[in-house]
Structure 1
């Protein structure tokens, strides 16, 4: 079930909370200018004090210079501010500090609001300041000064919240611990928030250069082979099975596209359907009219793009299950492969109709078309920061296209049907999975063959799918016979193998931030492996 409606969304509450945590951190580090700049840009106030008890104590003690300095940084209701400033004016009058009292009365924003909203109270203050005698009973209108302070302290205390010191750092530490418990990082001390929860803090080129110059570095980066099946997902339905799979880039979602057109979202850590997605909990699912044979998540995980055997493309909002856009048809035949450009504005697609196309995601408008293959196109991907496109076809060729001009700039002819082309940025290349006994690594600089990863002589079948585990530094390939092999990226040596299933295997995919590998078969099973 799908709904062709997109709801209007406001600023997420979680973003508001994150900004306030950053503001608290900046305040604790005495970065006042930076904090003020962020408050000005976002219109969000920290709205907290270091110690609420000290703050209320200062009000009760009448330490108004300290209180007013703190109040300037807080987001307090006008009514509470008016009461506070009114009390300060009265107490200054009692001390016969008439100049300061008049300045506060006539030049402060709360007192301006008092004059607009409650002119009688404002006139009362003017009269108090013009009298030569101060009568507390008349001025405070039957209340004592101490009781009025108590009331103001309580009202202002209710306006502010206090977070524990170093709350941002505490939450990041807890996040690292959770990532470690979920198997998303090996050591929380090496947690890298910008690298999906793990890593060394180096960019891809630094890691690659270090690995090529220091053998021990690559040995440390290469993780163990994912040879233990820890969960099996059964696709619902007697004859249903997953035609394709996709992990979200944050690793929280595993999407399966079924032969019956249904798209389901799973938790890759426990193999259970995500019930925190309300529509799935209610038994409703994203669905297409025909079999779903290709999928890709947006980088932020908010969108899922799916392609079906009838040539249609759908854009889904993962959190709601709503279909944001349908491109019908995008191709004359089934959509075999999908990718997104770096800013998620365009959909790259390939098809059995021998064409590659780019559609605008917002409108569904066809922007570009690439022609040149003479048989089914099985795989397509952006490479070199989107300036080039890779495609692999059943005509036995890999083509490199110029994205801007749509011209083919290079054609390679490996042995056998090209089933997949997989960009491998850390190796400055891409992997070609062809229906033979070898996986091939090519350079994305000069398009030459760099290395091959071969099946053992004892296996007479051919590769049908491959995936790159950036987490462990391994290349995985799976064969017609249902055997999965892992290869060391640097040496090309095989590091492990396992029989996945006796039933026909369709594809494999890797978790983006852990060592989990998923494989699906025609029997309706999705197998999850870890080291």
Structure 2
């Protein structure tokens, strides 16, 4: 199939005419010698000429290019009819109608009917065709036609355990693997040049296998996919892992299982090969936002928007312990150290949404807890508090809550971001706030640290990702 270049120019001319760009319209016509004689309805113009509705005819023919002799005859007819306006004799009327019929036929031979906004319609149809036949993700929002890429807003980011890969999942459903050394798409993964790792809805969670060869992704529609990092091949798809969005994932390579938490308040495990549901953990009263599995693989820790941390026996699926993290505006560090969370809960009025729990490297059994409060807690698996890190904003009338946090590779620093977008760096050794700075123009939605190097990554709701070296 071949497309005439003149037709492409006509599409551009139509776009310019419809968007009120008369100078550009005229310049392209004169330079190319291609004229846009496309109208919405040839029949309508023909009928208007035959009925002598000259005001309508002139409007519809405005901007069209017709032969000089035809334009002369057309204008002559209009002048004659204006002169004959008071003439009522039948002969004159018949003659006038014959002249109109001749003109309408001549004019219509130079015109072509065309749908409005044809260029945009064709572009939209081509994107729809690619979506249906080449399995592109549903596109919502801005799309760059020249780069063939959408402006992705990041939903989740994650380093691989070996530190070679940095995965990003966007709210448009696309997954990309980056090289953290150069902060560019990984050059060793050739499949990313033409292939796509994608979901049909926003990606909310990512997880690597321990050997960094597998990547699991969870989406807004409750779907889990397992990918090969080296080839980009989809190895397994679990379309209905949960009834709602997948918020967190953990791959248990030794057991060939994948554990997932969801907006549906459930935690489930599925077989990596079969995709079948193996276990289900019930008890949380709201979203499950974070899950952790120690190396022993016998217990599971989970954090929820209901403000609680639960410890589960993986084999029996029973809940062993429940801790609640209250939202405290002010804390007495010395008084609270060593106090268990259930005692602390009694002193508070409400529970705060729990965003994340994560193990601290080099500190066996210690867990960093980030909830919606101006404090970060270090606890053990019994719920006892060992350290608290507080935002300097607690000394103001409007303290800012933390929304995300992570630990450095050697477990000596804690990085956290609050709701104003300020990033804080706390020392786990001295318990002091060492640095603070503004990371992004818009709200920071996530923060992760490289597993071996002093490299911090923050990502914002505006779609930007920043790499920070310390």
For the criterion TM > 0.5, the same-fold answer is: yes
Q: Residues 344 and 284 (structure 1 numbering): CA distance in 2 closer, same or farther, change over 3 Å?
A: farther
Q: Which residue of 365, 369, 373 maps to 1:432?
A: 369
| Bigger-Rg structure (1/2) | 2
Aligned to 1:497: 436
Aligned to 2:183: 271
User: Partners in 2 of 1:349 and 1:500 — Cα distance?
Assistant: 30
User: In the alignment, is residue 515 of structure 1 matched against residue 427 of structure 2?
Assistant: no
Deviation for aligned residue 1:425: 4.7
Deviation for aligned residue 1:341: 2.2
Q: Which residue of 280, 294, 302 maps to 1:369?
A: 280
- Give the TM-score normalised by the residue count of structure 1: 0.54
Aligned to 1:257: 169
Aligned to 1:335: 246
Deviation for aligned residue 1:471: 3.2
Aligned to 2:271: 360
Question: Normalized per residue, which structure has more helix?
Answer: 1
Q: Residues 238 and 326 (structure 1 numbering): CA distance in 2 closer, same or farther, change over 3 Å?
A: closer
Aligned to 2:400: 461
Q: Residues 236 and 447 (structure 1 numbering): CA distance in 2 closer, same or farther, change over 3 Å?
A: farther
User: Partners in 2 of 1:433 and 1:265 — Cα distance?
Assistant: 27
User: Partners in 2 of 1:434 and 1:357 — Cα distance?
Assistant: 23
Deviation for aligned residue 1:246: 0.9
Deviation for aligned residue 1:330: 0.3
Aligned to 1:351: 262
Written as runs of structure 1 = structure 2, the 5 A alignment for 1:89-128 is none
2:158–2:207 Cα contact (<8 Å) kept: yes
User: In the alignment, is residue 450 of structure 1 matched against residue 386 of structure 2?
Assistant: yes
Q: Residues 410 and 462 (structure 1 numbering): CA distance in 2 closer, same or farther, change over 3 Å?
A: same
Deviation for aligned residue 1:238: 5.7
User: In the alignment, is residue 248 of structure 1 matched against residue 185 of structure 2?
Assistant: no
Residue segments in structure 1 that go unaligned for 5+ positions in a row: 1-234
Q: Which residue of 418, 438, 441 maps to 2:378?
A: 441
Residue segments in structure 2 that go unaligned for 5+ positions in a row: 1-146, 327-351
Written as runs of structure 1 = structure 2, the 5 A alignment for 1:70-469 is 239-280=151-192, 282-341=193-252, 343=254, 345-383=256-294, 385-415=296-326, 416-427=352-363, 428-444=365-381, 446-457=382-393, 460-469=399-408
1:399–1:410 Cα contact (<8 Å) kept: yes
1:420–1:465 Cα contact (<8 Å) kept: yes
Report the secondary structure of 1:279's partner residue: helix
Deviation for aligned residue 1:236: 9.0
User: Partners in 2 of 1:331 and 1:474 — Cα distance?
Assistant: 35
Moved runs in structure 1, 4+ residues, more than 6 A?
Answer: none
User: Partners in 2 of 1:270 and 1:495 — Cα distance?
Assistant: 27
Number of corresponding residues: 295
Deviations 1:459-479 (A, max 9, x none): 721111111112362111111
Deviation for aligned residue 1:493: 1.5
Bigger CA drift: 494-503 or 310-319? 494-503
User: Partners in 2 of 1:387 and 1:423 — Cα distance?
Assistant: 16
2:411–2:428 Cα contact (<8 Å) kept: no
2:222–2:241 Cα contact (<8 Å) kept: yes
Report the secondary structure of 2:216's partner residue: strand
Deviation for aligned residue 1:506: 1.0
1:357–1:367 Cα contact (<8 Å) kept: yes
User: Partners in 1 of 2:357 and 2:403 — Cα distance?
Assistant: 12
Q: Which residue of 408, 411, 419 maps to 1:480?
A: 419
Name which structure has the greater RCO, CA cutoff 8 Å, separation 6+: 1
User: Partners in 2 of 1:485 and 1:327 — Cα distance?
Assistant: 38
User: Partners in 2 of 1:518 and 1:336 — Cα distance?
Assistant: 20
User: Partners in 2 of 1:516 and 1:236 — Cα distance?
Assistant: 31
Report the secondary structure of 2:362's partner residue: helix
1:433–1:440 Cα contact (<8 Å) kept: yes
User: Partners in 2 of 1:493 and 1:410 — Cα distance?
Assistant: 31
User: Partners in 2 of 1:332 and 1:243 — Cα distance?
Assistant: 19
